[in-house]
Amino acid sequence: MPRPRIIGAAQLVPVTDLAASVAFYTGTLGFSEVIRAEEWNFVTVRREGVMLGLQGSADSDLAKITGNNLATQVWVRDLGALWADLSPALADLPEGRVKAPFRQPYGVHEFHVKDPDGFLMLFAEANDTDLSD
């Protein structure tokens, strides 16, 4: 009998405008919508092994708390190629929502993007570490 596999995880992210957030993740970051539950004001988006559950909420304080206190780190291969792919769309974002590629003191190469509510996505590559399964 094959062993069960965990195939992914989805961070749940409260958003103030579900349509705008779905448009940001699909249009700007290249995710695809995979689940929509209108009755719960909820959409799951996915790009390869990364999933996010976007939960529409009228509570702007909740989204602000999330934006100020939570982030997700997305591990990639060939960060430069991903940056090149995304940078035309990222260039249209307001100032302060994107941090161009840089190297952390501990060796990780990364760039940062904030969604419309301030939720931080850290796209990162550890050149000497294979993080695949």
Q: State pTM to two decimals.
A: 0.90
User: What element of type H or E holds 120?
Assistant: strand 120-125
**Contacts for 76 with CB less than 8 Å, ≥ 6 apart:** 82, 123, 124, 125
Residue 115: phi, psi to the nearest 5? -80, 180
Number of domains in the chain: 1
Residue 30 inside a domain? The answer is yes
Tell me the CATH number at 81. Answer: 3.10.180.10
**pLDDT of 21 over the 70 cut:** yes
**pLDDT of 130 over the 70 cut:** no
Residue 133 inside a domain? The answer is no
Query: Amino acid identity, residue 37?
Result: A
Q: Give the domain range for residue 43.
A: 10-125
Digit-coded pLDDT (tens) for 61-116: 988 888 888 899 999 999 999 999 999 999 999 999 999 999 999 999 999 999 99
| Residues 35-57, mean pLDDT to the nearest whole number | 96
